[in-house]
Amino acid sequence: MADISQTLRGKFITFEGTEGTGKTTQIQCLEEYLHSRGLNVLVTREPGGTRAGEQVRTVLLEQTEVPLDARTELLLMFAARAQHLAEIIYPALRDGAWVLCDRFTDASYAYQGGGRGISDSDIKEIESVVHPGFQPDLTIVLTCALETAMQRVSSRGKKDRFERESQDFFERVHAAYLKLAGRDPKRFAVINTEPEIEEVASRIRQTVDSRFSL
Ligand code: TMP
């Protein structure tokens, strides 16, 4: 297969972290900043981002009464991702857009790998089928104390399939994210979201400014 990255003029920035770390707020802040610099920005999310992907998201997150084997969960994440890449991400990057994506494949390593215990090598095989040679230009992992994150999640109302998981599960997810970030410091930036929202947003802007010429 031809190297798809060669045809992509835009930038692909992904946001990761356990639930309750403030991704949605920070993505919005970065979107405003990039807009203010005159850039074409697209915000999207996983699982989801397309009509088919949003339906898969419902099965994965909301239909908690439908049992899902860990491997089914992993394959559904990648099925939604394949559609998302083909329909939204690649076309936007070809057009030169800055795509801000709320979670991507690192979430599969963290949740289905770290959380559910599927091996990295199994995930890698599926990754190599779904997006061979393609990786985010920058991945921002947001972290905060697990207690802070859990408090933020419990204030949101009905819990989805993952939000019902144990503290142990989230500790494994968190550890998996830090392991991924440690292996590839060029692609990843780990940012603590305990400080005030504006302070965190400013650190993210600095990271983006230092890694790309805007
Ligand atoms: P959220 O991003 O709105 O918090 O919800 C998405 C949930 O899906 C979150 O709990 C993480 C989970 N997830 C995975 O388990 N694997 C994946 O590959 C992705 C993209 C998300």
Atom of ligand 1 nearest to the CA of 105: 18
The whole-number average pLDDT for the span 3-27 is 93
The confidence score (pLDDT) of residue 154 equals: 85
| 151 vs 209, residue with greater confidence | 209
The whole-number average pLDDT for the span 17-36 is 96
How many A from CA of 97 to the centre of ligand 1?
24
Sheet holding 11-16, edge to edge: 41-45, 98-102, 11-16, 138-143, 188-192
Phi, psi of 147 (to 5 degrees): -65, -40
The whole-number average pLDDT for the span 40-55 is 98
The response to whether residue 152 sits with its C-beta less than 6 Å from ligand 1 reads no
The confidence score (pLDDT) of residue 150 equals: 86
The response to whether residue 79 sits with its C-beta less than 6 Å from ligand 1 reads no
Whether the pLDDT of residue 88 is over 90: the answer is yes
The confidence score (pLDDT) of residue 134 equals: 97
Whether the pLDDT of residue 2 is over 80: the answer is no
The confidence score (pLDDT) of residue 156 equals: 84
The two three-digit tokens of residue 2, written as one number: 């031809």
Whether the pLDDT of residue 159 is over 80: the answer is yes
How many A from CA of 117 to the centre of ligand 1?
16
The response to whether residue 162 sits with its C-beta less than 6 Å from ligand 1 reads yes
How many A from CA of 47 to the centre of ligand 1?
6
The whole-number average pLDDT for the span 1-21 is 89
The whole-number average pLDDT for the span 109-127 is 98
pLDDT in tens, 167-208: 999 999 999 999 999 999 999 999 999 999 999 999 999 999
Whether the pLDDT of residue 65 is over 80: the answer is yes
The response to whether residue 103 sits with its C-beta less than 6 Å from ligand 1 reads yes
Query: From residue 162, how far is each of 32, 37, 42, 213 by CA, in Å?
Result: 29, 36, 26, 37
Which residues in 76-115 are b (16+ Cβ under 10 Å) and which e? bbbbbbbbbbeebbbebbeeebbbbbbbbbbbbbbbbbbb
Tokens 């083909």 locate to: 86
The confidence score (pLDDT) of residue 153 equals: 85
pLDDT tier at 151 (50, 70, 90 boundaries)? Answer: confident
For ligand 1, pick from 16, 21, 26, 46 the residue to mutate: most ligand atoms within 8 Å of CB: 46
Q: Of 109, 100, 47, 99, which Cα lies nearest the Cα of 76? A: 47
How many A from CA of 18 to the centre of ligand 1?
9
CA separation for the pair 19, 107 (Å, rounded): 11
The confidence score (pLDDT) of residue 152 equals: 85
The confidence score (pLDDT) of residue 80 equals: 98
The confidence score (pLDDT) of residue 1 equals: 54
CA separation for the pair 103, 79 (Å, rounded): 14
The whole-number average pLDDT for the span 147-171 is 91
The confidence score (pLDDT) of residue 21 equals: 94
The confidence score (pLDDT) of residue 207 equals: 98
